[in-house]
Chain A
């Protein structure tokens, strides 16, 4: 969604073309991300000739401030979509930055890893908005990601297993 998409596209801006093909997954209710992604990829195609990317939507896992119990149910529902999608894409690397949408995708990747089907590296970058506290996705994925990146020193202190590179968006 919105801010998350802008941030993730900035993160992608300096990546080499070895990070290809890129598969974008976002919420079905998201109206603006598709345009932003296409615009980013279009610009990229001007420099890199063989640029490949795909777009996929899954049901939104959670609305802002949705209750915990109903969030579990809506996340499970999203999982019904994210599991076959992740199985089909078999990513080597998952890069996510916090919208609820990333949780079912990461859970799917973890399951595929446990089942010996495909082991993906999960890299989570917490939003620049998070200075003192982690988002809910962050609190969950801090334990399940391979690399957890924060953008402010306070968070690095509170979450010692995280990686601090300064502001990267």
Chain B
């Protein structure tokens, strides 16, 4: 897997995704509408990398566990509790920037 150009195709075919807490992985998965379990390793990771995963969990978009609790999570998970992830809105940025620059 390591050297595949893009996981997009695999992602589309998946029913469940288990991933590390990298932002790209999390957001790509959520935007495809796939259920996601984020596995963190607090010893290896930078505090800031966890911020997004934690927030997504707080907002009910992902399940969250670490390596030792993964099996238990898989056994007891209820994916129906996950809420769909509304996509970001770059249009809002465009509107803001137009005002700033004077292109109204």
Residues of A within 8 A of B (CB): 2-3, 6, 10-16, 18-19, 65, 92-93, 95, 121, 123, 125, 127-133, 135, 146-147, 149, 151-152, 163, 165-169
Contacts and interface: CB of A to CB of B under 8 A. Distances in A.
Contacts of A127: 23
Nearest to A147: B100
Interface residues of B, number: 25
Given A121-B100, A149-B93, A167-B89, 7 more contacts: A14-B93, A127-B23, A129-B52, A133-B48, A133-B51, A167-B88, A169-B88
Interface in B71-102: 86, 88-94, 96-98, 100-101
Report whether over half of chain B's contact residues are helix, strand or loop; otherwise say mixed. Answer: helix
A132 B58 CA distance: 13
A168 B90 contact: yes
Contacts of B54: 131
Contacts of B23: 3, 127-129
Given A6-B24, A15-B94, A165-B96, A131 B89 contact: no
A123 B94 CA distance: 12
Contacts of B24: 2-3, 6
23 contacts: A3-B24, A11-B90, A14-B90, A16-B94, A95-B97, A123-B97, A125-B93, A128-B27, A129-B23, A129-B51, A130-B51, A131-B51, A132-B51, A133-B47, A133-B51, A149-B93, A149-B96, A152-B55, A163-B96, A165-B89, A166-B92, A168-B88, A168-B92
Nearest to A95: B97
B52 A14 contact: no
B90 A131 contact: no
A10 B27 contact: no
A43 to B, nearest CB: 15
Contacts of B27: 128
Given A129-B23, A168-B93, A10 B103 contact: no
B49 interface: yes
A168 B89 contact: yes
Nearest to A93: B101
